[in-house]
A and B are shown apart, each in its own frame.
Chain A
């Protein structure tokens, strides 16, 4: 069941509530009565200008026809049924469930969304436990120390005679390893405590910079006012940036920000956005490359973008390592591990400067759709003699719910938390499939 099918039911209900005949409404919208009949019985897709014309003829807000609480509920029900096909839920009768048992329907919707939220939490924690270099090194230290202590103490307590020289040696080894174990567990606890209290500096310099950018809403007012403002002073004033590595990253980020602000000042960007939200057209109007436009769009606050919604952005280098992360609420970006290989972000590296647009559905996220634009750029900072440095970018925004998507690419965040068992691009098992196996 698609959003357009549900929209048909709402159009029919609104028309009948107004006492309007089908032929009347069809005439007012410039379509045939038979075509309207198909729409109302959810047998034809609807979107774009036709949806607007119908809403106008019904005197309704387009969003109440294209979307609304009921539609969101039906979307959740349908997504829940789609995720658990083994339950054989009667997907074509979700409308009936929602109207006859609205409370139960809401409960299913709430539980489905809560599951999705918990999966996001698992996703982040798993990403971290698997790839956080500090946690990984600490756990290795702990296990190595425990192994050495267990072996040495097993020898001493085993009942067989052990020469005095070896006894002393194993006693010394146990002492050394227990000290190492105490240090490793102590630093691990400190690290986790600091994270739990949110007082820590974060495990990576990128975390420090990201915390700072989140606090600033990804906007650097000093550079918006004057792109030549001293960067060092801005970094020095950032409480979140504590390590030298983070300072270095922040300097690089701000230098890029200043150059982008010169290339696309804020006033013409906002003017251009009032005319179009198509990135290629915008880039052409502003005379700037797409990656510059992408980076500028994420600096705009969502209240400055009433029609476009806020933007997310992810950048990666030629190795696929994510170097720029501005997530959206339902579009997580992994910090430590590799992202979903199906993202267009990784495809555009094969043809630099060739933009790609996709409608992306994130698995396990209530089938939220995202409009993504990706492009890769190549720089030669050391001239012909030096290496080519490639960076790929992917701009992310929510797909407008009132708009139909013709082709949808289904993807995830990262393999370990993706439930798509038959994905041809999978590189490692999912923790969710492991959990299912254990339950069996």
Chain B
């Protein structure tokens, strides 16, 4: 059985710590990227089973990264769970239009985040 690989694209170190810890307990490998400018290259090179993507990142927004992923054949089918502090309906609608698989508004619970991540990697 192959190891589940998650790429966490988030710039808040303490949120990275928490998510990394929770997903590592599942036996998953968690890589991180903290800069929006390098995120796409990180997705391309690691080819993860799941991308957890923050919206407000340095240098590039999560929406732009998602849009480019969906336009690239190699990354088009990778499930993406988005995390954002902006939970307005229009933000969610934009993410859905761009092809997000799960949209989570901060603050979220660990259980909710983990349940969504499990669902996406089982696809």
Contacts and interface: CB of A to CB of B under 8 A. Distances in A.
Nearest to A163: B21
Given A144-B12, A144-B85, A169 B17 contact: yes
B70 to A, nearest CB: 22
A147 interface: yes
Say what secondary structure dominates the interface of chain A.
Answer: helix
Contacts of A173: 14, 17-18
B27 interface: no
A177 B106 contact: no
Nearest to B90: A428
Which bucket holds chain B's interface residue count? 20 to 34
Say what secondary structure dominates the interface of chain B.
Answer: helix
B115 interface: no
A2 interface: no
B85 A140 contact: yes
Contacts, number: 60
A242 B25 CA distance: 53
A176 interface: yes
Nearest to B106: A147
B22 interface: yes
Given A151-B19, A155-B18, A429 B110 contact: no
Interface string A141-158: 001101110111011001
Given A151-B19, A429-B89, A158 B110 contact: yes
B59 interface: no
Given A147-B12, A152-B18, A428-B90, 5 more contacts: A144-B12, A147-B108, A148-B18, A155-B22, A177-B14
28 contacts: A139-B85, A140-B56, A143-B107, A144-B12, A144-B106, A146-B106, A147-B15, A147-B85, A147-B106, A147-B107, A147-B108, A148-B15, A148-B18, A151-B15, A151-B18, A151-B110, A152-B14, A155-B18, A160-B25, A166-B21, A169-B17, A170-B18, A173-B14, A173-B17, A173-B18, A176-B14, A177-B14, A429-B90
Interface of B: 12, 14-15, 17-19, 21-22, 25, 56, 85-86, 89-90, 106-111, 113
